[in-house]
Chain A
């Protein structure tokens, strides 16, 4: 019988610890598919963050490093500068990348560090039990914004792709979502582009993935996907914010 759907080779044969309806599993798969498609598993090194995906090091089949909270881009820099011919990626959540590690994120992007960053934006701190994230929406109720995020005292959510697009160096910045089959397909293409860019030496590539957290949002998985469509995407517009490779092709025409 022909196998028409199977686990990517770059994923370990492990049971994921994620909550039902969480989209981390989908994004792990997209990363592994990109690694398989490019045939780079043997020379890829991944950096896991602190947050829900802290144990990503058990799920990817390539060599893995666990970083301290927010420092994955700095750790990735150390690895990439030591082994420039290896493929180095970080996998980080919104608290990790956009709050405590914002300086490392912006600085690695500004240097045009030739790494791939997968950024999971689910507008909440999942691992610690649902606190307000830098990307939580105005009015969003979390453990630390029990009356809803108040823009006056807690500020506005941060848009990472737009922020990084103000820098000259990044090669690729894209925001995707994984709340529908169509969006997952587009997300897969963006993740593949972000890895291919590194293989081709184009520099810093980041894919922001709008994800769900049904547990801490207090929604069913289905309603969580709807919430992404109705609340998240209007504030975080999907699209490609920087693509030097594509721009180059257009310019050559």
Chain B
């Protein structure tokens, strides 16, 4: 199954019946899949007039407690920024998929990880975060889609699946959850939704406007308490050959896959190298990286951008060890040999 299709099918199986999107490469397979499936299962596929409209349709659907999603690629996510900020301000759960391509501007259509800052620092105006998940296989495209919906609802905030274009386009075997979530069940227990009062309760208001500064401050402080809880309980990462590692690669998505091959090759030559692969980018797995700094002598970030995540790595390990970079941009992907060469350079420095 293609990565993009795995997202779509996984979303359906976890009770999402409302997809709103606008065509853009390289994520269009998600829309195409939804367009085929949704009408057959009583769901809504709507090709919106713009990315802005699509995210606002998601906002409307989320107000009713439905599991709703949109997907796009980098330039389209810029347009969604307004809506993402409003989702965050109104504490609404929703899924935004970003299958990244090279930028800035129209950029290109080949894979990239250059929206890292945009996603992790806050994709929109105001003081807020979204949950950011970075899949590194088609299996994770499916698994993290489910995880994104669940975390978004648990913490009442938008979640972004931040994949690079390769993850969307590549095909791998995938095991999908057999048991499907009932799309009506996910609405239950949400007391804040606007589904009509039924003349049985006072009206609910979904809103992000607070004209009194002390009230607005309170909402921000409460939100950041939730972020603290999220970081304490939901941070995810994978460690690979880290037990005796002297060099620690940090990488996500397709570059983590390439790096694994490079690590195997370097290990064969006796270089003690391992990898920490962040799965949640927000919250960032700072603790394992700080712990690694006590035993490794250098970090190497491998990214499809000019080193955006390397800043988070340096912050996490408090600049205790140098952070070297191996970057390709514009849609170029480093080969395993390129990454192995970068690892070898660090290994030689140590001798």
* A residues in contact (CB < 8 Å) with B: 12, 41-45, 47, 54-55, 57-58, 60-68, 71, 74-83, 86, 103-104, 106-107
Residue of A nearest to B195 (CB): A83
Residue of B nearest to A81 (CB): B44
Compute how far the CA of A82 lies from the CA of B190 in the bound complex, rounded to whole angstroms: 15
Q: Which B43-79 residues have a C-beta within 8 angstroms of A?
A: 44, 46, 48-50, 52-54, 56-64, 66, 68
Quick check: B208 and A82 within 8 Å, CB to CB?
A: no
> How big is chain B's contact interface, by range?
35 or more
Q: With A42-B197, A66-B207 as known contacts, state yes or no: A82 contacts B49, CB within 8 Å.
A: no
CB contact between B59 and one of A63, A67, A81 (< 8 Å): that residue: A67
Residues of chain A with a CB closer than 8 A to B83's CB? 68, 71
Q: Does B204 contact A (CB under 8 A)?
A: yes
Compute how far the CA of A74 lies from the CA of B83 in the bound complex, rounded to whole angstroms: 11
Residues of chain A with a CB closer than 8 A to B62's CB? 78
Given A67-B56, A79-B61, A86-B195; 5 other pairs, CB 8 A cutoff: A65-B205, A75-B60, A79-B63, A79-B64, A82-B60
Compute how far the CA of A85 lies from the CA of B33 in the bound complex, rounded to whole angstroms: 27
Quick check: A78 and B209 within 8 Å, CB to CB?
A: no
Q: Which B143-172 residues have a C-beta within 8 angstroms of A?
A: none
Q: Would you give the shortest CB distance from B243 to chain A, in whole angstroms?
A: 49
Q: Would you give the shortest CB distance from B75 to chain A, in whole angstroms?
A: 17
Which A-B residue pairs are the 7 nearest by beta carbons? A78-B60, A74-B56, A107-B49, A63-B194, A78-B57, A75-B60, A42-B199
Residue of B nearest to A48 (CB): B207
* B residues in contact (CB < 8 Å) with A: 18, 20, 44, 46, 48-50, 52-54, 56-64, 66, 68, 82-83, 86, 90, 194-200, 203-209
Quick check: A77 and B46 within 8 Å, CB to CB?
A: yes
CB contact between B61 and one of A43, A71, A82, A86 (< 8 Å): that residue: A82
Quick check: B53 and A79 within 8 Å, CB to CB?
A: no
Compute how far the CA of A86 lies from the CA of B198 in the bound complex, rounded to whole angstroms: 10
Residues of chain B with a CB closer than 8 A to A86's CB? 195-196
Compute how far the CA of A106 lies from the CA of B48 in the bound complex, rounded to whole angstroms: 12
Quick check: B53 and A82 within 8 Å, CB to CB?
A: no
Quick check: A64 and B196 within 8 Å, CB to CB?
A: no
- Residue among A42, A78, A83 having the largest count of chain B Cβ atoms under 10 Å: A78
Compute how far the CA of A150 lies from the CA of B292 in the bound complex, rounded to whole angstroms: 67
Quick check: A104 and B49 within 8 Å, CB to CB?
A: yes
Residues of chain A with a CB closer than 8 A to B199's CB? 41-42
Q: Would you give the shortest CB distance from A8 to chain B, in whole angstroms?
A: 14
Compute how far the CA of A154 lies from the CA of B158 in the bound complex, rounded to whole angstroms: 40
Quick check: A64 and B205 within 8 Å, CB to CB?
A: yes
Q: Would you give the shortest CB distance from B190 to chain A, in whole angstroms?
A: 12
Residues of chain B with a CB closer than 8 A to A83's CB? 64, 195-196
Compute how far the CA of A75 lies from the CA of B64 in the bound complex, rounded to whole angstroms: 11
Compute how far the CA of A78 lies from the CA of B52 in the bound complex, rounded to whole angstroms: 13
Quick check: B194 and A65 within 8 Å, CB to CB?
A: yes
Quick check: A75 and B196 within 8 Å, CB to CB?
A: no
